[in-house]
Amino acid sequence: MQKFHDRLALVAACLAFCVVVLGAYVRLSDAGLSCPDWPGCYGHLMVPHSEAAQAAFPDKPLDPHKAWKEMAHRYLAGTLGLLILVICITAWLGRGRLAGSPLLPSLLLVLVVFQAALGMWTVTLLLKPVIVTLHLLGGMATLGVLVWLVARCQPFELHPVSRSLRIGVPAGLLLLVCQIALGGWTSSNYAALACADFPTCQGQWWPEMDFVNGFHLVRELGVGADGSPLPLAALSAIHMVHRLGALVILLYLGWLASALLKVSGMRPWGWILLGLLLVQIGLGIGNVLLGLPLPLAVAHNAGAALLLSALVVIHSKIARGERS
């Protein structure tokens, strides 16, 4: 049963990564509202072929190409939810015989149910930025928990690590989650192109920025706190905070990777972390300079998911080393 449970977790983790990347593709290709209802599309479980199907949504013209992108994401997410349900049932049936408590799979199942609700609200609340950002974070959290379930069952030669690493790795995870949230906020507000140059923004090191409107959470897409159109200064504030966050991540995870390179048994993960970090920073700069091409923008989301997964595995290994 242990092998079956481990393989299920591995398949689910790979599928969760695909769901996160496909979700980014749907959002960045402007297909997030291509199906105006949920969980179906114009009242059907598959994208309808006839325009007569949109009679209930006369203001929402049917675009089958975009609608299939959205429905593919929903099908994949639904499959992931079923896999997680099986993992949870297996964990409870095998409690006492499987590694770890069934509580974590149970919490994961609750998370997935909430994530499904966020997916529905993303559509019904018309891409409200705070909901879109929470949906992204929910997807990343699902991926992180699944990676932890996989990592905790893998054989590992334990090595002692310094106190700075025992504290530094979870702190790095927290910083990365905050940066992913900032990235989600930047994307959901369409602020990625507020600065088209690098390292300056609009030709300035510190452009005019409106933090009040930019980071007012409870508002509709494209409007400020008072309901007026979101000004460029607000979009610039969002973009610049994400850019400064990337600098913090570069410095902190760079230090973390260099520290891991000095630990016997953790050197491969130090190189993996460093490589992913440099690629991710390069993708971020490339998105700015090249005007956010879709493949690069999707790859930037995938890079964040891979960085998160690497840090979760590293944290799992160090946590097991502490318990030994």
Name the nearest CA neighbour of 283 among 270, 269, 294, 297: 297
Active-site residue (options: 51, 70, 220, 322): 70
41 forms bridges with which residues in the sheet? 44
Tokens of 42: 């114009």
Helix (H, G, I), strand (E, B) or coil at 50: coil
* Catalytic residue status for 70: yes
Distance CA 311, CA 256 (A): 10
204 forms bridges with which residues in the sheet? 201
Distance CA 178, CA 172 (A): 10
- Are residues 140 and 304 in contact, defined by beta-carbon separation less than 8 angstroms? yes
Name the nearest CA neighbour of 281 among 243, 313, 237, 310: 243
- Are residues 254 and 274 in contact, defined by beta-carbon separation less than 8 angstroms? yes
Helix (H) or strand (E) holding 72: helix 64-93
Q: Cβ atoms within 10 A of the Cβ of 97, count?
A: 9
Q: Catalytic site residues?
A: 70
